[in-house]
Amino acid sequence: MGRVSFTEAVNYPPWIGSHYGTKDDIRLLVIGRSYYDARYRDKTIEQYITDLIKNKGNDPFFTALEAVLAEGKHWKSGLGGLKLDRKKFWNSLSYHQFLQGILSDGYSPPDKTMWKQGQEIYKEVLSALRPDIVIMAGTDVFNNMPTLGGRNGRTYSWQDVHMKTWIIPLDGAECQIAGMTSPRDSTYKTEIWKELYLEFISDYKNKHKLTSFSSH
């Protein structure tokens, strides 16, 4: 979708994949909560994900997101069987950190000022990227997002795990937002969230008469 400019308030501009916004593709925006380590202070999200693509780092949080969100077209054959094409996967979507500050660890509660700042920046990111679907990778992020005149969507359930959804008007259409447990949470189970996401994205594609979803 080309270069996007953000205000100075956005300390960590989102990663925007080179194929994000391509004609006939779903605009998928994934949102995490925050950085937890001061060593990332001078490292942009773009630099961090570029390193992931080049396999220069291994972060269980992002590995879990890949396992849940990757479609069949993101996989390739190689020695030992199928392997995720990280470059193709990350270039198909955008990624944003909701909170723009750095927490000391994953258990530190953000203060109200951080949440408020994150909410305003979230609005700016939505306006700039105009996603069709937003995946909130964290229950607290989903619960703290601005409602923006939206309404409840379907809740997807698998035993005692639930994926709530929220629908907002955006750019003359409807944007569907789904909340999942953060992959950093000890209760997170990749295989369950994969099933919930498959059901969610299949419903979306059927509603909009898009090609069927395939995965491995």
| pLDDT tens-place string over residues 27-81 | 999 999 987 655 556 678 898 899 899 988 778 999 999 999 999 999 988 777 7
- Identify the pLDDT of residue 214: 41
Q: How far apart are CA 101 and CA 161, in angstroms?
A: 29
15-207, superfamily in CATH?
Uracil-DNA glycosylase-like domain (3.40.470.10)
Q: Which residues pair with 82 in a beta bridge?
A: 77
CB 176 within 8 A of CB 165: yes
For residues 135 and 177, give the distance between their C-alpha atoms in angstroms, rounded to a whole number.
Answer: 6
pLDDT in tens, 69-125: 999 999 988 777 789 999 999 999 999 999 987 776 656 788 899 999 999 999 999
Scanning 70-189, the segments in alpha helix (DSSP H) are 86-90, 112-129, 139-144
- 162-195 b/e with 16+ CB inside 10 Å = b? ebbbbebebeeeebbbbbbbbbbeeebeeebbbb
pLDDT reported for residue 15:
95
pLDDT of residue 105: 62
Mean residue pLDDT of the chain comes to 89
Give the whole-angstrom CA distance, residue 125 versus residue 12: 11
> Average of pLDDT values for 9-21?
91
Radius of gyration of the chain (CA): 17
